[in-house]
Amino acid sequence: MNLPCVQWQDHVAQKWRALEPKLKEQFTSLLEIDDVFRCGLSLLFCFPQECLDDIDRAVKNGYPSHLLHKLEDRRTLCFKHHSVHEKGREDDQNPASNDCKGSDTANSPSVGPLTVGICPQVVVDSTVEKGRHLVAVNRIAAGEVILTERPYSCVLLPGMEEVKGKVGRYGREREVLFGVEDRRCHRCLTETLILVPCDRCSYSRYCSTGCQQEAWEEHHRWECALGADLMAMGVMSQLALRVALKAGLKNFLLAREPIRDEHKECFNNHSSDPSTSSCGGSYLNVYNLLHHLNHHSPALRFMCAVTTATLYLKLSKAGPPPVSWSHTPHGPNKEGGDADWNAELWMLGSAVLQHILQLRCNAQAIVVLQDTGDSTNSPVQSNREIRIATAVFPTLSLLNHSCCPNTSLVFSTGVNVTVRAAKLITPGQEILHCYGPHSSRMVTQERRRLLQEQYYFLCQCEACSQQQQDMEEPRQQEPGTEGRDLGLLCIKCKGSLKSNIEIHHCHVILLFYPPPGEALRLLKKTLCQSGLILAEAHPLQGELADATARAYASMGDWNSAASHLERSAVAIASQFGKESVELGRQLFKLAQLHFNGGAALSVIPKVRRLLCLHCGPHCHELQELKAMEDCLQG
């Protein structure tokens, strides 16, 4: 949709008036048929509640009376499915059923309603140097949940290619791409194939009528007419507007006032319990996030101000203000409505500008593992981590950065984030997570430069300090670390091997194109050459071994693929650590290969332990491992 929503609606209205009466009647009936079609899909995929919602929508939109008996029959089926589903859920919650065995379940969240907040072993501390941050007061074991939180607000990223598919027309097939906006709810980010579109625009879609209504009341009522303009302004501007709309005038004015006695406790040292303080999901905590305005360039400040002014003008023409931003429960009165709305709109614009400046340093990317779709004609599935949304988490934003953090993050249930201890955390130790630049993926100078540019601080974490000290003191390089800081060097002449790296990567890229036999020949040649100049545990050796394993798997040679993947796992362990989630996912692929080859039971326990440690006991990889184990043991 290239036109703004209002112009688009006018365009559609003109086309509608030009239609013949018979065509109008035909297209009107398609609306009810679409609801019934969604209803059938919901029932097919065992979503009885969604099916009932679609039946109500079809009746509301005027479904033909002579076909209503079919909807009633389907409603009866839904109630039967719903009762069976509830009984199955009760059986699943019996103490006898466990997905993770041993000590892994001791530190996992209980099955049931999601508990949001900080664990009792952690408190919010505050110092002049670090500001507010989280500190452990008791011992926290590896894998234990530290924080579970829902975002204050989030925005789905448009245009992110997520799933590839094929559609046929006139006997021909063409490849099409489905973005995240086509497969995920625009409010809760839940992935679904049965989306409920907005009744007014052609972009926003939701997983249920409940999400649709909640989004409409919270922000979409005013975003709908500005859809194209908001997309042009960028994700940060849209997220800032959503935060302000959700907060409302009362909370904004309260946040601007000096901190009173009843609010001081959550800012003092050793404050916890975010559910009852500003350290939880309240707007006060979002409002008090640092914006580092004194570090922003004049050009950035000007751009943010112009963006906010443009949004101010667009909102002034969009209609009456939100009820949450009105002094009266029913909005401004008719006599001085424009004047009242101008005053409130001015404060709304002020709030939006405040949040645009804050989000540059405090926004959090929501990422998921997704099939790339490159393996349509291959038995090997390829996954990659993609960013699907940008959000602001009030408590997660309190965590300071470390290039080698003691926590790991995982996003589940749509938008919820869970922070787990990646290693043993002792009392008094600060809770840290990585803002992006990680010591296992990037050299010290590059990490520090990126952090300085975006977050305006010179990183002095343990990893940066240790590596800086090692660079100042001459030392013998450890095996497998050649070239990690200064680039690859020839072991004979000490010359740069940058050109060789590019050649090796080109050989790896060839793997994605048929035939796999040709790619395998090139990979074998590259492995022989790299073995002369690189240690076995070098990251590039791991990439080549992984690519070779994929080539063998594409040809159905599972044993050879598993052998090369084991070599890749050695390099992964050297680069990321023996307790890393990267090693867990690599061993998960090894378990899949051994399942086809025969020896998966020896690998599954270690994979289960690592994935439980970082991702929790209910991630889909562990469910697949459980199914594999049951199949092999049964």
Is the pLDDT score of 417 beyond 70? Answer: yes
When pLDDT is averaged across residues 152-181 and rounded to a whole number, the result is 60
Picking from 144, 228, 603, 632, the residue whose alpha carbon sits closest to that of residue 418 is: 144
Per-residue pLDDT band for 618 (boundaries 50, 70, 90) equals confident
**Is the separation of the CB atoms in 311 and 241 below 8 Å?**
yes
Picking from 154, 160, 308, the residue whose alpha carbon sits closest to that of residue 237 is: 308
Q: What share of the chain is helix, strand, coil (3-state, %, to 5)?
A: 55, 15, 35
CA distance 269 to 561: 54
More confident residue, 39 or 351: 351
Amino acid at position 197, single letter = P
- The CB-based long-range contact list for 446-449 (8 Å cut-off, 24+ gap) reads 447/403
Check residue 498 and give its pLDDT.
54
Is the pLDDT score of 503 beyond 80? Answer: no
Per-residue pLDDT band for 509 (boundaries 50, 70, 90) equals low
**Cis, peptide link before residue 515, omega less than 30° from 0:** yes
Range list of β-strands (E), 157-230: 161-169, 172-179, 196-197, 205-206
57-68 pLDDT per residue, tens: 777 767 777 777
Per-residue pLDDT band for 22 (boundaries 50, 70, 90) equals low
Amino acid at position 227, single letter = G
Burial class from Cβ neighbours inside 10 Å (0-12, 13-18, 19+) for residue 264 reads exposed
Cβ-count burial 49-72 (b if 16+ within 10 Å, e if not): ebbbbbbebbbebebeeeeeeebe
CA distance 496 to 536: 19
Both structure tokens of 538? 């070098």
Check residue 486 and give its pLDDT.
40
Is the pLDDT score of 395 beyond 70? Answer: yes
563-575 pLDDT per residue, tens: 999 999 999 999 9
Query: CA angle, corner 224, sides to 251 and 356, nearest 5?
Result: 45
Is the pLDDT score of 38 beyond 70? Answer: no
* CA Rg value for the chain: 28
Amino acid at position 360, single letter = R
CA distance 9 to 274: 44
Picking from 438, 421, 530, the residue whose alpha carbon sits closest to that of residue 139 is: 421
- Supply φ then ψ for residue 398, to 5 degrees: -80, -15
Give the single-character DSSP code of 105. Answer: G
- CA distances to 48, 60, 496, 546, 564 from 530, in Å: 57, 67, 14, 14, 15
Burial class from Cβ neighbours inside 10 Å (0-12, 13-18, 19+) for residue 410 reads middle
Give the single-character DSSP code of 431. Answer: P
Find all residues with CB under 8 Å of 158, minimum gap 6, and list them: 179, 181, 203, 231
Picking from 75, 64, 9, the residue whose alpha carbon sits closest to that of residue 32 is: 64
Dihedral-angle region of residue 273 (phi above 0 means left; psi in -120 to 50 means alpha; beta otherwise): left
Check residue 322 and give its pLDDT.
77
255-296 pLDDT per residue, tens: 988 765 555 554 444 444 444 443 434 799 899 998 899 999
Check residue 166 and give its pLDDT.
45
More confident residue, 9 or 168: 9
Helix, coil or strand: residue 167: strand
| Average pLDDT of every residue of the chain | 76
- Supply φ then ψ for residue 603, to 5 degrees: -100, -30
CA distance 597 to 599: 6
CA distance 70 to 47: 18
% of the chain surpassing 70 pLDDT: 67
Q: Per the confidence metrics, is the pTM higher than 0.85?
A: no
578-612 pLDDT per residue, tens: 999 999 999 999 998 888 766 888 899 999 999 99
Helix, coil or strand: residue 348: helix
Is the pLDDT score of 375 beyond 60? Answer: no
CA distance 250 to 257: 11
Tokens 């790619």 sit on residue: 519
- Taking residue 259's Cβ as centre, other Cβ atoms within 10 Å add up to 14
When pLDDT is averaged across residues 446-456 and rounded to a whole number, the result is 93
Q: Is the dihedral of CA 451, 452, 454, 460 positive or negative?
A: positive
Is the pLDDT score of 483 beyond 60? Answer: no
**Is the separation of the CB atoms in 574 and 537 below 8 Å?**
yes
Is the pLDDT score of 114 beyond 90? Answer: no
When pLDDT is averaged across residues 227-248 and rounded to a whole number, the result is 92
Highest mean pLDDT among 171-180, 321-330, 359-368, 521-530: 359-368
Is the pLDDT score of 112 beyond 50? Answer: no
Least confident of 39-53, 143-157, 359-373, 427-441: 39-53
User: How large is the greatest C-alpha to C-alpha distance in the chain, in angstroms?
Assistant: 87
